[in-house]
Amino acid sequence: MALVKANPPGIPAVGDGKPTPDGPASGLPPLIETGPSVEDLLAALDAEESTTRRSAARALATHPEAAMALCDRVEIERSPSVRVVLFTTLIRLQSPEIAARLAGLLRSEDVALRNGAIEALQEMPAAVAPSLRALLADPDSDVRLFAVNILGALCHESAPEWLVEVIASEPHVNVCAAAVDALAEVGRPEAVPALQALRARFPDEPFMTFAIDTAVRRIEGR
C-alpha cells in the first residue's frame, strides 16, 4: 500500500496514547516551555535566516516592550513573509504608539510595505483613532487618500462620521471620491445631505456624480 503510517521527526504518534472520551491525549509535550528571553528574540530579528526572523517576530507577540523594536524592524525588513508576521505581531500588540509608527509608513514608496501598514492599521481601530485626524489633515493628498482607505474598512463607530467630515472639507477630488466609495459601504442616512452638497463642489466631474448617486442609493437601500 502506498500509505504509510509514520511518526516523522517532531511528530509523536497518538496511536498508543489514544485520545480518551473526555480527557486530553497522552503523548503531548508539556504546554509550558521555557522560551528564549526578549533580548534573544530581539537579536534574532536580525538573523540571516528568514525562518529565524519570522519565528522571533511571532514569539514577540507576548512582549509589548518589544513594540518599538518591531516597528524599527518592519521598516527595514526585505523578506515579504517576515514582514507579514511582523505586521501580525504589531496588530496583536496594538497601541496608539504602534499605530503612530505604522502611520508613518503611509509615506513609504515601497507599495508592499505601505499596503501592509494600511491593512494592519485597519485591524486596530481603537489604536489608530488618535492618529487619524492628523492623517486626514496631512498636506500630502496621497496620505489623506490612504487614511480614507483605512477609515473605510475600520470597525470604529465614528468612521462614518469622520468620512462625512472628509467630504465636507477635503479639497482633493480623489480623496473625496475615495470617501464617497467608503460611505457607500458604511454610510448612514445622516451622510446623505453632505453627499448631496459634495455634488456642487465638483460639478465638472461626472465620476463624482455617479459615485454620489450610487452611495446615496445604497445608504437609502434603494
Partner 1 sequence: MVDPARSVQPPPPPPLTDEEYAKFCEFFYRKTGIQFQDNKKYYVERRLVERMTKTGSSCFRDYFTMVRFQVSGEELQSLVNTMTVNETYFFREDYQFVALVEGMLPELVRGRSPRQPLRLWSVPCSSGEEPYSIALSILERWDQADHWDIEIHASDIDSRILAEAQAGVFGARSLSRVPRQYLEKYFVSLGDGSYRICDDLRQSIDFSLVNIVDPVQAKRFRDVDVIFCRNLLIYFDDVGRRETVETLYEILVPGGYVCLGHSESMSRMTSLFVPRKFGDTIVYQKPQEKAP
Query: HEC states along 9-70?
Result: CCCCCCCCCCCCCCCCCCCCCCCCCCCCCHHHHHHHCCCCCHHHHHHHHHHHHHCHHHHHHH
Using the minimum distance from each CB to partner 1, give the nearer residue, 127 or 180: 127
Buried b / exposed e along 151-181 (16+ C-beta atoms within 10 A) = bbbbebeebbebbbebbeebeeeebbbbbbb
Binding status of residue 19 toward partner 1 by CB under 8 A: yes
Contact with partner 1 (CB under 8 A): which of 25, 68, 134, 137?
A: 25
Q: Is 12 in the site for partner 1 (CB under 8 A)?
A: yes
Nearer to partner 1, 17 or 130 (CB): 17
Cell 518599538 appears where?
68
Task: Give the Cα separation of 107 and 141 in Å (integer).
Answer: 11
Nearer to partner 1, 81 or 169 (CB): 81
Tell me if 43 contacts partner 1 by CB under 8 A.
Answer: no
Contact status: 15 vs partner 1 (CB under 8 A): yes
- Among 92, 114, 199, 201, interactor with partner 1 by CB under 8 A: 92
Residues that bind partner 1 (CB under 8 A): 1-15, 18-25, 27-29, 31, 33, 48-51, 54-55, 58-59, 61, 78-81, 84-85, 88, 91-92, 112, 116, 123
